[in-house]
Amino acid sequence: MSEYKLLAPVTARRRGRRGVSPALRGERSVVRGIGVGLLWLVVAISIAALVWMVAQAFRDTRAILDDPWGVPASLDFGNFVRAWTVGDFAVATWNSLLTTVVSSVLTVAIAAPCAYYLSRVDNKLTRSLSLYFILGLGIPAQVILIPLFVMLNKVYLTDSIIGLNLVYIGVSMPFTVFLLTAFFRSLPLEMEEAAALDGTTAFGTFWRITLPLAKGGILTAFILQVISHWNETLLALTLLQSTEKYTLPVALISFVQQQTYSGADWGGLFAGLVMVVLPMLVIYVWLGRRLTEGLTLGMGK
C-alpha cells in the first residue's frame, strides 16, 4: 500500500518543472521561515515567563502591582519567609515532599515485580492481567473520588498522609505496570537464561540480573511518578481537610482563596508558585532526556 502511494510523486515530477534539489538541504520557503521564527518566539516567551515568575517572587506586592515588568531591586526573601510562615507552606512543602517520595518509591517497588512477571510469563492469565491493569489508564480520577472518600473515611484514613500515600500508590499502578512491562520486554533474555543455567533461582534472576539491567527504566518510572504525585491536586484536595496535612497544591489553593478576603498578596503567591514549579525544573534539567524518552516510549501503543 505504502509503495503504491510513494509512486505518486513520480508522476508529479513530469508536470512540475521546477528545480528539483537532489539533496534535502536548501529547501527554503517563506512560510517555513515564518514558522521557524514563530517557534523561536514561543521558546523565548516561555523562558521569559519562567524567569519573570521567579523574579516577581523576590519583589513585594506593591512593587509588583505598580510595575509588573520590573526586576527585583535586591534579593529579598521576604515573600518566601511570609509564605513559609503565614501561608502554611512550610508544613505543606514537607508533606508534599514526604508523600511524593514515599508513594513514588513504593509504587515502583510494588509495580516492578508485577511488571516483570507479566513481561516474562506469557499465558492466558498474564494476558488478561495486563489488560486488567491497562483498564485503569482510562478511568479519570473524579470517578473514584467519592467512593474512595467514603471507603477511606470508614477506616479513618481520610485527612491522613498515610491514606493519601496509599491512594497515590493504587492510582499509579496502571501506568507504572504498563511502562515497566514494556521496558522489561525490551531487555534481552540471554543473561537471565545464562544465570538460570548457572543455577540461579527465578527470584535471583530477577533480583540480581534483571533489576540491575533495568536501572534506567526504573529510574524513569520513579521520576515520572515523582512528577505526577508532586502535582496531584484533586485527590489531595478531597482527602485532606486540616491545614497541617495539606500538600503544596492544596495549600496554594487555600492561599488563593484566603486572598479574596484579605486582599491580594501577590508577592507571597509568586513565592508559592515558585515552590511548586522549581523542583520540577530542577528534575527536568537534571534528567530531562530520560523523561521525554520515558513519556513518549510509554505512550507507544
Partner 1 sequence: MSVGLKEPRAGKAALQNPDSRKPVTRKASAQGRQPGSSIDVQRKKLLVPFVGPAFVLYTVLFIVPALGAVWISLHKWAGSGPMKFVGLDNYGRIFRDPLFLSSFGNTLLLLFVVGAAIFILAFAMTLVLRDMAGKKVVRNVIFFPHLINALVFGVLAGFIFNPGGMVNSLLAPLGVTDPPKWLAQDNIFPLIMVTLVCTTTGYFTTILMAGVDRIPPYYYEDCALAGATAFQRLRYVILPLTWDVFGTCAVLWTISSVKIFEIVWVFGGSSGAGVPPTQSWTAAVYTYVNAFSGQSTPAYGAATASAVLSLALISVLVVLLRRAMRRDAVEF
Q: Which of residues 63-82 bind partner 1 (CB under 8 A)?
A: 65, 68-69
Report the nearest approach of partner 1 to the CB of residue 248 (Å).
8
Binding positions for partner 1, 247-286, rule CB under 8 A: 249, 252-253, 256-257, 259-260, 264, 266, 269, 273, 276-277, 280-281, 283-284
292 Cβ neighbours under 8 A, 6+ residues apart: none
| Binder of partner 1 out of 150, 185, 216, 286 (CB under 8 A) | 150
| Binder of partner 1 out of 28, 124, 154, 215 (CB under 8 A) | 124
Report the nearest approach of partner 1 to the CB of residue 219 (Å).
16
DSSP classification of residue 243: G
Stretch that binds partner 1, among 70-78, 79-87, 97-105, 191-199 (CB under 8 A): 191-199
Report the nearest approach of partner 1 to the CB of residue 283 (Å).
8
What are phi and psi for residue 2, nearest 5 degrees?
-65, -35
Q: Which of residues 81 and 135 has its CB atom nearest to partner 1 in the complex?
A: 135
Binding mask 224-243 for partner 1 (x = CB under 8 A): ---x--xx-xx--xx-----
Report the nearest approach of partner 1 to the CB of residue 218 (Å).
14
| Binder of partner 1 out of 20, 30, 75, 131 (CB under 8 A) | 20
Q: Which of residues 84 and 240 has its CB atom nearest to partner 1 in the complex?
A: 240
Residue 175 touches partner 1, criterion: CB under 8 A: no
Instruction: Assign 3-state DSSP to the chain and report helix, strand, coil percentages, each to 5.
Output: 80, 0, 20
Instruction: Report d(CA 103, CA 236) in Å as an integer.
Output: 13
Q: Which amino acid is at 30?
A: V
Q: Which of residues 218 and 252 has its CB atom nearest to partner 1 in the complex?
A: 252
Calculate Rg over the CA atoms of the chain: 26
Q: Which amino acid is at 237?
A: L
Directed axis angle between helix 78-85 and helix 266-299, to 10°? 80
**In the numeric block, which cell numbers belong to residue 224?**
515520572
Instruction: Report d(CA 142, CA 243) in Å as an integer.
Output: 23
Stretch that binds partner 1, among 74-82, 84-92, 147-155, 211-219 (CB under 8 A): 147-155
DSSP classification of residue 242: S
Residue 39 touches partner 1, criterion: CB under 8 A: yes
Output b/e per residue, 228-249; b: 16+ Cβ within 10 A: bbbbbeebbbbbbeeeebbbbb
